Structure 1
Amino acid sequence: MEIRPVTDDLAVAPQIQPEDAQALAERGFLAVICNRPDGEEPGQPDVASIRAGVEAAGLHFHHLPVSGGAFPQAAIDAFREVRRGTPGKVLAYCRTGTRSITLETLANPRGLSVEERLENARAAGYDLSGLTDRLNAQ
């Protein structure tokens, strides 16, 4: 399982498996956010199996799917609400981690500057410089 730390209380990852949940709990995560819709690609574990594994490990699970490169305001707001409402470490995942880091960057739950958000993404291995205009317009 590849986990990319973004901040002290957030990491992003590519697709996880239900059996990864216990290791996440042992690493101090309190919640998991899935940003993938079910059935996005063959062989992808369904959301119900991930939820079951995560909840069995004592973690909270949130399904906030986005697809097609679209980041509707409702998804951004929901991501922000989960991040602000979780008093500890959160793991957000999708196919590659890009949607999850993009949602974090757009939601800005910690009130960081545009530069800080882009640098956090860069440090985690994601180039979100294409969002600069959208971020500056927020």
Structure 2
Amino acid sequence: MIRTQITEQYSVSEQITLDDLNTLAAAGISLIVCNRPDKEEENQLAFADIAQRAQELNIKAVHIPFAGGQMQASDVTSFKQAIKGADKIHGYCRTGKRASSIWEAANTEV
């Protein structure tokens, strides 16, 4: 996993593995947000598997999936609700771009 720090509170990466969750837990991540639809790619780890391991590590996991370039206002609203009050957040998708874009959209004044 190549973790890119967007702010002190938020980092992003490509698809994470179960082992990456240990690294994220050690870094103090309290919330993981997945922006990837399940089965987007062959052999992709299912969100349910990530969520189960995250729960074992006391990390909340939220799934807000959307295809690349197809983020909707409802996705941004769901993201804002999910991150409200969270301390350290990590978002992931296939490359990190959607996870970065949704953060930017949620933090842009309209």
**Under TM normalisation by the shorter chain, which class is it?**
over 0.9
> For the Cα contact (< 8 Å) 1:12–1:97, is it kept in 2?
yes
- Structure of larger gyration radius: 1
> What root-mean-square deviation, in Å, do the aligned CA atoms of Structure 1 and Structure 2 show?
1.3
SS at match of 2:89: strand
Question: Percent identity at matched positions?
Answer: 31
SS at match of 2:19: helix
Question: How far off its partner does 1:64 sit?
Answer: 0.4
Question: How far off its partner does 1:25 sit?
Answer: 0.8
CA distance in 2, matches of 1:31, 1:38: 19
CA distance in 1, matches of 2:53, 2:42: 20
CA distance in 1, matches of 2:17, 2:54: 9
CA distance in 1, matches of 2:14, 2:48: 17
For structure 2, the residue ranges without an aligned partner over 5 or more in a row are none
CA distance in 2, matches of 1:100, 1:63: 11
Q: Which residue of the partner structure matches residue 72 of structure 2?
A: 72
Question: How far off its partner does 1:83 sit?
Answer: 2.0
> For the Cα contact (< 8 Å) 2:68–2:98, is it kept in 1?
no
Residue 83, structure 1, aligned to residue 83, structure 2: yes
Q: Which residue of the partner structure matches residue 28 of structure 1?
A: 28
Letter of the structure 2 residue corresponding to residue 24 of structure 1: L
Letter of the structure 1 residue corresponding to residue 24 of structure 2: L
1:65-91 alpha-carbon deviations (Å, 9 max, x no partner): 0114111111001111222231x1100
Distance 1:68 1:3, change over 3 A: closer
**Which is richer in helix?**
1
Instruction: Pick 1 or 2: higher relative contact order, CA cutoff 8 A, min separation 6.
Output: 2
TM-score, structure 1 length as denominator?
0.76
Q: Which residue of the partner structure matches residue 62 of structure 1?
A: 62
For structure 1, the residue ranges without an aligned partner over 5 or more in a row are 114-137
CA distance in 2, matches of 1:64, 1:81: 11
| Runs of 4+ deviating beyond 2 Å | none
CA distance in 1, matches of 2:47, 2:29: 18
1:34-76 alpha-carbon deviations (Å, 9 max, x no partner): 0000000011101111111111111000000011411111100
SS at match of 2:83: helix
